[in-house]
Amino acid sequence: MADRVLLAHGSGGKLSHDLVAKSLVAVLGNTILDRLDDSAVLEASGRLAFTTDSYTVSPIFFPGGDIGKLSVCGTVNDLAMSGAAPLYLSLSLIIEEGLPLAELETIVASIHQAASEAGVQIVTGDTKVVNQGSADKLFINTSGIGIIPEGLDIAGANARPGDKVIISGTIGDHGIAIMSQREGIEFKVPIVSDCAPLNKLVAEIVSPNVHCLRDPTRGGLAATLNELAGQSRVGIRIDEVSLPVEEAVRAACELLGFDPLYIANEGKLVAMVAPDEAEGILTKMRQNKYGTGAAAIGEVVSDHPGRVIMKTRLGSSRIVDMPVGELLPRIC
Amino acid sequence: MKFIDDYRDPKLGQRLIDRIQHLSTTPVRFMEFCGGHTVAIFRHGIRQLLPRTIEMLSGPGCPVCVTANQDLDKAIALARQPGVIIASFGDMLRVPGSHSSLQQAKAEGGDVRVVYSTQDALAIARENPDKALVFIGIGFETTAPTIAASIIQAEAEGINNYYVLSFHKLCPPVMKAILDLGEVSLSGIICPGHVSAIIGSHPYDFIPQDYGIACAVAGFEPLDILLSIDMLINQIETEQYRVEIAYRRGVRPEGNHQALKLMDSVFETGDANWRGIGIVPASGLKLSQKYQRFDAESNFAIDPGPAREPAGCICGSILRGISTPADCRLFKNSCTPEDPVGPCMVSSEGACATYYHYGDTGGG
Ligand code: SF4
């Protein structure tokens, strides 16, 4: 086998077959995938959650993960945010010709590892190879199916005045890890992406007292809180002092002129929960390895519906607006 | 990295605010020169915490905003030339020029790429030896040393298709220009942080000496800014004007010798065209004779035609400190960050974008 992915690997012929068999099925296989039929046949009953997402990230390897891990965790987390227990994923790869096979194998291994950790199976998939320049190394799409346990009603429109706002840990790690890698900036303490599957953490805290769950990915915590405030037609107040931010992330933000509120996360969740249950939920979260840094950061109010207001460290207050456009480092 | 938190300590902040409240007796007007300071002041709600005696104005320190349309039009015209790849910092793409934007030129087939650093631009030049790579050099003394380094590197590596369209600008001359215009009376200036890390604090000495105006160099953390305001008030109340540094961890009075040397070896000062202010003598950096072969303006025929400003946009007066975004009738109406009319709404360091995002509460 060549040591790079060739266009012929996507032609449907022998090379394609080999690639799928050796590099993918051999690693990711399970009783459903191994059949290699045109569609996976699944057993499931109850309320289903179904989601899809495409992953493009540059660089494809970053401190704390790679595009493979990201594509599993992202979809698992989207399912978990509706309270669902994720079961099955699809996996589509669009590979730019010339990608070293060793890199592909590393990524497939990390897909396998992330799926095993989350307890989901990859049950169907597809591979395409495109001309050089038509993709940036590797694009991945995953779709996922999960089952929502009885009695749960978790949705973006369900936040109520009085609810406490909880974040499962420090913010901004993923985005800054990617940016420092891309810009070649090195910090004394390396900043590592928080990319992680959150379904087990969610399973430990869900109950009818959990009203909203969302993972603050692109656009960061600011975008997520604004979305939830809009969908639930409530106001949200947060307190800057209580926001967990790693020191290295804060230093990087100072250097680049960023606000950690707007930086992407890939292993954090925001929960809006009934006030009386907040302490109990925080305690449970902190026992999970992905929730050790969980903190209550604010509350839902009936004032200023659709708006997020933050009390700053200095005691003043300011609007936390929806982000617009791409985050760019300051040049001044 | 521990120091960062000290610079955000709420208790220290409160003490500074109390002191400023206590010290400030006469009405004063301060300009924060740098757009990054405007953002920090709004982000931390600092205006709300200041006594009524202190008025804060945003200055011209936003590199994207001060790039004149004549210059931007040159970049757009170059983007339309066959065989040219334009590399630019991202914000520039969305700024509307006289008739088009870099983004528009890109959509029409121009090869315009967003880069995060000059290293990215050099890499593109290496990968495309049959094309000319033109880097749009905007920014102040902060970015100029890295651009200078890229030119020296290109020369050393024998990269012959790398060009810089240099719109670099210098801060002290434009401060002088604004003071000489005399349109706005200022009691103090918060001098830029990152620029001063390069040039030091001495280049501002003429401001207290010749104009009797207080000066303090500030960083971008809330306490840096409060400390600089405290210094300004102190100078005014004691009538002892000088340039103080409220950003000791970043700035030395003599600046960064190495960076200055780098700049000097590649650039020489020349006139620069500032949006809203016009041509200011010796306020820009052009490539020196020795590096002419890297200079886009002298190696390409560029004729963008006459420039014009977007109708209704008052960015020019905002950059001179005589208007605020709220004075613009397009602000929040037809001009928003999603659909900007002028550069001050495009750039994340622009006054209009900052007023828009942090709106009513941030402004106090
Ligand atoms: S609000 Fe828009 S149109 Fe008005 S000055 Fe600012 S950028 Fe120009």
pLDDT tens profile A308-325:
999 998 899 999 998 876
Residue type, A229: A
* Mean pLDDT computed over B216-235: 95
Give the ligand 1 atom nearest the CA of B335: 2
Atom of ligand 1 nearest to the CA of B345: 7
Average the pLDDT over B45-50 and give the result: 93
Chain B interface, best mutation among A236, A310, A320, A331, by max B CB count within 10 A: A331
Q: Domains (ranges, CATH) in chain A?
A: 7-148 (3.30.1330.10), 164-319 (3.90.650.10)
Q: Which residues contact B54 (CB under 8 A, 6 or more apart)?
A: B20, B24, B27, B28, B30, B229, B233
Q: How confident is the model at residue A44 (pLDDT cuts 50, 70, 90)?
A: confident
pLDDT at A179 over 90: no
The alpha-helical segments, DSSP class H, found in chain B are 3-6, 10-23, 35-43, 46-49, 63-66, 69-79, 102-107, 118-127, 144-157, 171-181, 193-199, 206-211, 222-238, 257-266, 296-299, 315-320, 343-346, 351-363
Q: Are A216 and A171 in contact (CB under 8 A)?
A: yes
pLDDT at B248 over 70: yes
B314: Cβ contacts below 8 Å, ≥ 6 apart: B323, B327, B328, B342
Q: In whole numbers, what is the pLDDT of chain A averaged over residues?
A: 93
A53 three-class SS: strand
For residue B253, is the peptide bond before it cis, meaning its omega torsion is within 30 degrees of 0? no
> Ligand 1 centroid vs B39 CA: distance in angstroms?
16
pLDDT at residue B363 in the model:
45
Name the residue at shortest CA distance from atom 7 of ligand 1. Answer: B342
For residue A77, the CA-to-ligand 1 centroid distance in Å is 40
Ligand 1 atom nearest to B356, measured from its CA: 1
Q: What pLDDT does A15 receive?
A: 87
CA of A261 to the centre of ligand 1 (A): 26
Classify residue B6 by its DSSP letter: H
The mean pLDDT of B260-273, rounded to a whole number, is 96
* Average pLDDT score over chain B: 93
Across the beta sheet with B84-88, what order do the strands follow? B111-114, B84-88, B132-137, B162-166
**Token pair in block for residue A92:** 């589509």
A317 and B CB contact within 8 Å = yes
pLDDT of residue A323: 86
Residue of B65, B323, B328, B334 to test ligand 1 pocket, by largest number of atoms within 8 Å of CB: B328
**How many residue pairs from chains A and B have C-beta atoms closer than 8 A?**
116
Query: Amino acid identity, residue B113?
Result: R
> Ligand 1, closest atom to CA B340?
2
With residues binned 3-state (H G I as helix, E B as strand, rest as coil), the percentages for chain B, rounded to 5, are 45, 20, 35
Cβ–Cβ < 8 Å for A204, A281: no
**Nearest alpha carbon to residue B286 among B101, B148, B94:** B148
> CA A44 to CA A146: how far, in whole Å?
9
Amino acid at B263: M
Q: How far is A180 from chain B (nearest CA, A)?
A: 11
The two structure tokens encoding residue A297? 């950061």
Q: Scanning every residue of chain A, which has its alpha carbon at the shortest distance from the alpha carbon of B60?
A: A332
Closest to B7 (Cα-Cα) out of B176, B157, B223: B223
> What local confidence, expressed as pLDDT, does residue B323 receive?
93
Interface of A with B in 254-313 (CB under 8 A): 254, 257, 259, 309, 312-313
Local structure of B217: helix, strand or coil: strand
Tell me the average pLDDT across A213-226.
97
* pLDDT tens for each residue of A260-302: 999 999 999 999 999 999 999 999 999 999 999 999 999 999 9
A239 touches chain B (CB under 8 A): no
Tell whether the model's pLDDT for residue A251 goes beyond 90: no
Cα nearest neighbour of B226 on chain A: A314
pLDDT attached to residue B116: 82
Q: Residues of B with CB below 8 A from A307's CB?
A: none
Residue B14 to residue A189, Cβ atoms within 8 A: no
Q: What is the pLDDT of residues A80-95, one digit of tens each?
A: 999 999 999 999 999 9
Find the CB nearest B359 among A248, A316, A319: A319
Q: pLDDT confidence of B2, banded at 50, 70, 90? A: very low
Q: What is the pLDDT confidence band of residue B1, given thresholds at 50, 70 and 90?
A: very low
Distance CA A212, CA A160 (A): 10
Q: How far apart are CA B319 and CA B307, in angstroms?
A: 18
User: What would the mean pLDDT of B329-349 be, rounded to a whole number?
Assistant: 93
To the nearest 10°, the Cα dihedral for A233, A235, A240, A246? -10
Q: Would you say residue B4 has pLDDT above 70?
A: no
Q: Which of A67-71, A312-316, B24-28 has the weakest average pLDDT? A: A312-316
Question: pLDDT tens digits, residue range B79-97?
Answer: 999 999 999 988 899 999 9
**Chain segment B314-332, per-residue pLDDT in tens:** 999 999 999 999 999 999 9
pLDDT digits (tens, 9 = 90+) for A122-165: 999 999 999 998 999 999 999 999 999 999 999 999 999 999 99
CA torsion sign, A268 to A294 to A188 to B197?
Answer: positive
Domains annotated on chain B, with CATH = 24-309 (3.40.50.11740), 315-358 (no CATH)
Give the residue from chain A lying closest to B349, CA to CA.
A330
What are the chain A neighbours of B357 within 8 Å (beta carbons)? Answer: 319, 321, 324
CA of B272 from ligand 1 middle (Å) equals 22
Distance between CA B64 and CA B347 in Å, rounded? 6
CB neighbours of residue A181 within 10 Å: 19
Distance of CA A168 to CAs A85, A293, B293, Å? 18, 6, 55
Ligand 1 site residues (CB inside 6 A) read B 312-315, 318, 325, 328, 330-331, 335, 341-342, 344-345, 352
Question: Helix, strand or coil for residue B35?
Answer: helix
